[in-house]
Amino acid sequence: MRKAIATLSILIVIAAMPVMATDVTFSGEVDFGLGTNFTDAYGITVGDSDLELSANVDDFVSFTIGLDGLFPDKDGKVAGIGDLYMTIDMMKAFGLDSPVGFSFDVGYTSFDTQEYFSDLTGYEAVEVGYAENMTEAQLAGTFSYGSVNLLVAIGPTSFAIGKENLLVNLYGEFGGLKAEAYYIDTPDGVTGVSYTDAVGVGLSYDLMGDSMIMFGLGADYLIDKKDLEAGVAFGGSWNSFGYGVMGTGEALLTDAAFGMGIDLTYDIIDALQVYGAISTGDFTQFTKTLGYEAGVKVTTINDQVKFYLGWNDGPKYKTVVSSKQDDGSYIGNVYLRIVSEF
């Protein structure tokens, strides 16, 4: 009954938004895939599938409602509240003309670091092993001055010190340079929380200003584990070609593992792309951590729906289904993936 009432309340708010607001935007993403390894597994997977409705009530106040999980998960559960918050531009609210900006979020949402480094390579098949940095928050403030921003987000799970989510993220874009530094404080001793406190930095730099050659660095120190992760990358595009090369090091202070990944794309025509990638997470365990992927991507005329048909294998890639073997290696799969953003 409570669930029905909550759902009805949300629908009423959504229906009323066009009446209350001067500007309403609707956006979302559906990521759906299916595949088989032709051996012992087949299945369906759902990526980031959500809907978001934003409404500007006036020049300085906006509301956002987001639903996550449009498809049933393994427990049969469907969409739930992902975001429900209000944003206030405090400078406009008080009629202040200042070079310093400050906006305030209150409600329920989540924040992430800017991920300048991990977004660098081609189609993001290879990613550095950053600490888990998603921070659920009920209160957040963003200070800005020119191209520099400071985000402070907090989500208290209780009023006891050490039981809160906290993200402090300093970031900015300066011409071809994008850089950030962050501190993440996660709840201590809270059931179900497996990630760790961390401090980190990340940057990317467009060397020539035309995205042909981009360089990236990233590192984070895992405070609870007393360990370090780092990576370096090159990426870019030229005519119809796109490329990314990334080297990573994980657990550098305890049991160092060094890996490398390469991904390539080629646009045959605007609507048809071929892509491929290969990576290893640890050269000392090459066969166990080796992964590769190849496929074709077809894009609709309006660029809102993308179809991927390909083969992938290994833990570094987003396999639809995968079967882990006794020696730690994987059996790959053929997959069809459909992604729509609107």
Contact call for residues 256 and 281 (beta carbons, < 8 A): no
Distance between start and end Cα atoms, the chain = 32
Overall average pLDDT of the 146-156 stretch: 91
User: Poorest-confidence range of 159-173, 185-199, 212-226?
Assistant: 185-199
Average pLDDT across the chain, whole number: 79
User: Poorest-confidence range of 55-64, 90-99, 123-132, 185-194?
Assistant: 123-132
Using a cut of 0.85, tell me whether the model's pTM lies above it. Answer: no
How many degrees, rounded to 5, is the angle at CA 15 between CA 13 and CA 17?
65
Question: Quick one: pLDDT at residue 315?
Answer: 61
Domains and CATH numbers, the chain: 32-341 (2.40.160)
Q: What percent of the chain has pLDDT over 90?
A: 24
* 36 or 94: which leads in pLDDT: 94
Question: Quick one: pLDDT at residue 94?
Answer: 93
Give long-range contacts, CB 8 A cutoff, 24+ apart: 232-241.
233/117, 233/120, 233/121, 233/128, 234/120, 235/120, 235/121, 235/122, 236/211, 236/212, 237/211, 237/212, 238/212, 240/266, 240/267, 240/268, 241/265, 241/266
Distance CA 284, CA 278 (A): 16
Contact call for residues 295 and 317 (beta carbons, < 8 A): no
Calculate the alpha carbon distances from 229 to 192, 202, 217, 256, 307 in Å: 23, 12, 11, 9, 34
pLDDT of 119 strictly over 80: no
Question: Quick one: pLDDT at residue 86?
Answer: 92
